[in-house]
Amino acid sequence: MLEGKNILLGVSGSIAAYKAATLVRLLIKAGANVKVVMTPDSTNFITPLTLSTLSKNPVHTQYFDPETGEWDNHVDLGLWGNAMIIAPASANTMAKMANGLVDNLLTAVYLSAKCPVYFAPAMDLDMWKHTATRDNIAQLQSFGNILIPPGSGELASGLYGEGRMAEPEEIVAFLEADIRKKLPLVNKKVLVTAGPTYEAIDPVRFIGNHSSGKMGFALADELASQGADVILVAGPTAQKSEYKSIKRIDVTSAAEMLDACLENFDSANACIMCAAVADYTPAHVAQQKIKKTEDHFNIELKKTTDILKTLGQQKRDDQVLVGFALETNNEEQHAIDKLKKKNLDLIVLNSLNDSGAGFKSDTNKVTLIDRQLNKTTFELKSKAEVANDICLAVVDLLNK
């Protein structure tokens, strides 16, 4: 759940600040990008150098560097994070947060944050039980901030009781669980195909196409970021997924892609067929390399099995099937015909006539057409942004 996420970690002045080192390591291990903001008092408990080394990012402690005059923009930091965790959150820092007081960089970043904010209190038993602290926590929760409850145990004072900051492992587990339950595709399985297929002529040569797989991989990554369990069937491509959670099945030919799709389609809630599958394959594959002897060389081709049509014939009412149409002429009509013939719920149309769209490019320009022939046309965007648009449409179809 944290893979690729930008996490702001705020560290305030508490003996529990030493746990921030372990927390940073766990967040990095989970695949997150971490930036640390510290209050001046917290640097008495753990050094910025330690957290900078572990996070692989500079640690932010003040508004500007008095030696260089360089400004540390709290607004930019607040906009950067996908989530902010304040751990430990001391009684003093929580009081400032609850009342909008800004006398250090951490509270300024907190007030600038557009993302969910989690706070893990750490203090002695009597401070934790004090009415002022309880009121401040209630106020923070009324703002939408999320409390990570402290545990009970031996405290710095020697007392035993509530107020001990949650352990770093508990904080990471809490964060992952909270993010996961809010994602639109959690507990949904989505099958995605990407890239070209290569149809062998002999052990050396093949028939292929120019698909890079970029669009399909962008879709797989976006689906994973939205909580889906993704199975990615990939033809020959150099592309790599950002998410380790994606189950990747590498194939070469259209026949191999068909087998992989059939094996996984029945258990999928949705299937997005983005691969550029060969329509024809050699009828006979030479066992040895064909030598160049004649001036002309003919290859007999036969049709491959139409994977999209096959899945469309097997599709249940509770499944969503999405196809792609890359056209060069009469684009919209060809896309609608494909939508109907192959029993699709949505088709993604793009045209090679649009500059910046199509194979190998990092951008794409698409039109989405659904069963009711409702059309949504988007401007030229990055393929990551196009993937987000398609995923939103899939979520909408799954919720109908």
Q: How many helices (H) and strands (E) does the chain have?
A: 13, 21
Which residues are CB-neighbours of 335 under 8 A, at least 6 positions away? 325, 327, 347, 349, 367, 369
| Cα-based torsion angle of the residue sequence 343, 347, 352, 354 in order, rounded to the nearest 10 degrees | 150
Candidates 57, 209, 343, 388; catalytic one: 209
Q: Is 400 annotated for ligand binding?
A: no
What's the CA gap between 376 and 361, in Å, rounded?
21
Q: Are 321 and 356 in contact (CB under 8 A)?
A: no
What DSSP designation does 15 have?
G
Tell whether residue 56 is among the known ligand binding residues.
Answer: no
Does 399 qualify as catalytic in the annotation?
no
Length of the chain: 400
Q: Which residues contact 334 (CB under 8 A, 6 or more apart)?
A: 325, 327
Q: What is the 3-state secondary structure (H, E, C) of 180-200?
A: HHHCCCCCCEEEEEECECCEE
* Nearest Cα to Cα of residue 257 among 229, 276, 244: 276
Separation CA 127–CA 125 (nearest Å): 5
Within 48-95, strands assigned E span 83-89
CB 87 within 8 A of CB 120: yes
Distance CA 284, CA 300 (A): 7
Q: Is 279 annotated as a binding residue?
A: yes
Q: List residues forming the annotated binding site for CTP.
A: 279, 289, 324, 338, 342
Annotated catalytic residues are: 209
Binding residues: 279, 289, 324, 338, 342
